[in-house]
Amino acid sequence: MHKRILGRQFSRPDDQRKALIRSLIASLVLHNKITTTLAKAKELKRIAEKFLTKAKKGDLASRRFLNRYLPEATVKKMVNEIAPLFKTRAGGYTRVIKLGQRQSDSAEMAIIEWVEKPVVVAKPKKKLSKKKNDKK
């Protein structure tokens, strides 16, 4: 009997599939927008939104849960920068925009991005102090 199994297979073994999804989530968090195939974008949306819901809590248990799946820098950015943008939103944190077919193999391509844009704060540049009387 065929059972309904949640998630896409991507013609990969289990460990490779998990590594693929983890790297896609890390890229989405670090770059705020990525271009990938439509199937990968839809699967990424499903998992990334669950992770962001955990990150919105921001407590120690949530951070430890996220650290099991994502690198430390990714978790910090997700909890400190991205999650506060969605405090009042109940869901629907990402959007998938279809791009059409890829030239080489006609795979459906898509952009996945956060609905709210994280604000990048530029650090002020330090002024170089002029040295008084250089003595040699």
Domain ranges of the chain: 14-114
* Cβ within 8 Å of residue 93, ≥6 positions away: 48, 49, 52, 86, 114, 115, 116
* Domain boundaries 14-114, corresponding CATH code: 3.90.1030.10
Phi and psi at residue 121, to the nearest 5°: -95, 120
Helix, strand and coil in the chain, % to nearest 5: 45, 15, 40
Lowest mean pLDDT among 7-11, 28-32, 59-63, 73-77: 7-11
List the one residue out of 40, 39, 6 whose CA is nearest residue 23. Answer: 40
Tens of pLDDT, residue by residue over 103-129, are: 999 999 999 999 998 776 666 777 766
Beta bridge partners of 97: 111
pLDDT band at 3 (very low <50, low <70, confident <90, very high): confident
